[in-house]
């Protein structure tokens, strides 16, 4: 996959595209067209059936098995999602993946607590302890994983996510079209809570951008709510830019406070109302009433009040957006994120030439 430097689609690459500018040869599974071969899909079904039947948790073994030759020819293997990371570390434990693995956790604790029985917990703990490093976008998640893995485990690094402040920038000439916009594909996004608020305020316009699968589970909503499904990341950016207020209600979890969309909306200079989950309560410099509005997860009244106060206090909303933009420019730029990612990856392994090849 190739994405223009100004395109929001490049977020799907989690920064690995910028490693090329450092002399790194990068390959990733998004560049492979079509489905995995039949043998890989059959193996995937068999392995996942066995893992889940024994009390374990599976993933996209087909993608990893198809990529084994390239992975084992690389200096380092980086997983950017748990559905690939879990198969990678399990296959490395049995010797099929032979290169160092850096695992990016995006909700790994939620998966690990589903393991049933001591044998499965030992299996996954042993596999994860073989990772060269584990990255987490939440301080809370990183600490949880350190505690679960115990002494002697791999380094677990809190890596705050970033936003491209050039691709996401305020446009003072663009008039907002929607009162409240919420964007997200995360299964923990609490759109139903926002719909409850929308039902109380037919005078306000709401727009929800979600995947089709998530949209099918939403409660019935009124005429003041517009639902859009499966938009591109560039289109989703446009919807954020059209908002007077961006609302991101999230159920409590270890890994996501709608972090990516939160930073993107802040970079656009939008006032944001977001749930104060453990994932963003520390590490992202968020201050209620200063650069965003923080509300407790599941609290419809608090969400409603924060949205209304932000909408009616035009000057206060403008100040929130201005300070939000300043926060991401100062501490959460894409360059800062890329530098931090490079520091972890280059610390794991280097080739004699000073660069390394990578495979996701």
Check whether 158 has a pLDDT greater than 90. Answer: yes
133-136 and 101-105 as β-strands: parallel, antiparallel, unpaired? Answer: parallel
Mean pLDDT of all residues in the chain?
90
> What per-residue confidence (pLDDT) applies to 252?
87
**Contact assessment for residue 175 and residue 202, using Cβ atoms and an 8 Å cutoff:** no
pLDDT band at 274 (very low <50, low <70, confident <90, very high): very high
For 194-247, write each residue's pLDDT tens digit. Answer: 999 999 999 999 999 999 998 999 989 999 999 999 999 899 999 999 999 999
State the angle between helix axes of 139-149 and 118-129 in degrees (0 to 180), rounded to the nearest 10. Answer: 110
**Contact assessment for residue 210 and residue 191, using Cβ atoms and an 8 Å cutoff:** yes
Check whether 5 has a pLDDT greater than 70. Answer: no
For 337-353, write each residue's pLDDT tens digit. Answer: 999 999 999 888 654 33
Give the whole-angstrom CA distance, residue 224 versus residue 204. 7
Residue 32 burial class via C-beta count within 10 angstroms: exposed 0-12, middle 13-18, buried 19 and up: middle
**Contact assessment for residue 117 and residue 106, using Cβ atoms and an 8 Å cutoff:** no
Residue 290 burial class via C-beta count within 10 angstroms: exposed 0-12, middle 13-18, buried 19 and up: middle
Check whether 13 has a pLDDT greater than 80. Answer: no
> What per-residue confidence (pLDDT) applies to 32?
63
* CA-wise closest residue to 103 among 344, 269, 283: 344
**SS3 category, 247:** strand
For 96-127, write each residue's pLDDT tens digit. Answer: 999 999 999 998 999 999 999 999 999 999 99
Please tell me whether the overall predicted TM-score, pTM, comes out greater than 0.85 for this model.
yes
Which range has the worst mean pLDDT, 6-20, 71-85, 236-250?
6-20
Give the whole-angstrom CA distance, residue 16 versus residue 26. 7
DSSP string, 312-338: H-HHHHHHHHHHHHHHHHHH-BHHHHH
What dotted CATH number matches 8-162+334-359?
3.40.50
Give the whole-angstrom CA distance, residue 241 versus residue 219. 26
Give the whole-angstrom CA distance, residue 19 versus residue 355. 10
Which range has the worst mean pLDDT, 71-75, 250-254, 317-321?
250-254
> What per-residue confidence (pLDDT) applies to 289?
95
Question: What's the CATH number of domain 178-331, 3.30.70.260, 3.30.750.24, 1.10.390.10, 3.40.50.2000?
Answer: 3.40.50.2000
- Give the best-scoring range by mean pLDDT among 20-24, 211-215, 299-303, 351-355: 299-303
Question: What's the average model confidence in pLDDT over 265-276?
Answer: 97
pLDDT band at 50 (very low <50, low <70, confident <90, very high): very high
Give the whole-angstrom CA distance, residue 69 versus residue 55. 29
Portion of the chain with pLDDT greater than 70, in percent: 90
Question: What's the average model confidence in pLDDT over 31-51?
Answer: 89
Give the whole-angstrom CA distance, residue 259 versus residue 141. 13
Tell me how many degrees the CA angle 11-15-21 measures, rounded to the nearest 5: 130
> What per-residue confidence (pLDDT) applies to 359?
41
Residue 132 phi, psi dihedral angles, 5° rounding: -70, -35
Query: Chain centroid to CA 280: how far?
Result: 12
**Contact assessment for residue 285 and residue 331, using Cβ atoms and an 8 Å cutoff:** yes
Quote the tokens at residue 45: 């079904």
Quote the tokens at residue 223: 């005429």
> What per-residue confidence (pLDDT) applies to 14?
66
Question: What's the average model confidence in pLDDT over 36-41?
Answer: 94
* CA-wise closest residue to 163 among 270, 15, 322: 15
DSSP string, 182-220: EE---TTB-HHHHHHHHHH-TTS-EEEEE-HHHHTTPPP
Question: What's the average model confidence in pLDDT over 185-202?
Answer: 94
**Domain spans of the chain, in order of start:** 8-162+334-359, 178-331
Question: What's the average model confidence in pLDDT over 275-302?
Answer: 95
Strand partners, 279: none
Check whether 295 has a pLDDT greater than 80. Answer: yes
Q: 10 Å Cβ neighbour count for 207?
A: 20
Please check whether the two domains, 8-162+334-359 and 178-331, share a CATH topology.
Answer: yes
């Amino acid at each position: 996959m190739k994405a223009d430097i100004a395109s929001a689609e490049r977020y799907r690459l989690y920064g690995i595209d910028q490693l090329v500018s450092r002399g790194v040869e990068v390959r990733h599974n998004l560049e492979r067209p079509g489905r995995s071969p039949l043998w890989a899909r059959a193996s995937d079904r068999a392995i996942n059936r066995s893992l889940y039947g024994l009390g374990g948790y599976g993933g996209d073994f087909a993608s990893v098995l198809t990529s084994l030759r390239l992975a084992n020819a690389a200096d380092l293997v980086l997983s950017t999602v748990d559905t690939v990371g879990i198969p990678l570390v399990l296959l490395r434990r049995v010797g099929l993946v032979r290169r160092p693995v850096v695992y990016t956790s995006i909700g790994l604790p939620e998966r690990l607590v589903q393991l049933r029985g001591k044998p499965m917990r030992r299996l996954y703990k042993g596999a994860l302890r073989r990772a060269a490093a584990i990255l987490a976008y939440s301080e809370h998640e990183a600490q949880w994983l350190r505690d679960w893995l115990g002494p002697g485990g791999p380094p677990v690094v809190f890596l705050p996510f970033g936003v491209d402040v050039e691709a996401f920038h305020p446009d003072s000439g663009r008039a907002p079209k929607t009162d409240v916009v919420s964007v997200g594909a995360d299964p923990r996004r609490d759109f139903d809570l926002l719909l409850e608020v929308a039902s109380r305020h037919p005078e306000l316009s709401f727009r929800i951008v979600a995947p089709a699968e998530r949209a099918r589970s939403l409660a019935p909503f009124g005429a003041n709510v517009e639902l859009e499904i499966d938009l591109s990341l560039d289109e989703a950016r446009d919807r954020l830019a059209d908002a007077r207020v961006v609302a991101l209600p999230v159920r409590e979890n270890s890994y996501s406070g709608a972090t990516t969309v939160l930073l993107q909306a802040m970079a656009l200079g939008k006032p944001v109302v977001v749930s104060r989950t453990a994932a963003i309560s520390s590490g992202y410099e968020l201050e209620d009433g200063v650069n965003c509005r923080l509300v407790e997860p599941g609290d419809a009244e608090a969400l409603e009040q924060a949205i209304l106060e932000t909408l009616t206090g035009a000057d206060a909303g403008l100040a929130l957006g201005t300070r939000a933009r300043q926060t991401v420019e100062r501490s959460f730029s894409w360059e800062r994120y890329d530098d931090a990612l490079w520091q972890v990856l280059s610390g794991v392994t280097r080739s004699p030439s000073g660069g390394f090849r990578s495979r996701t």
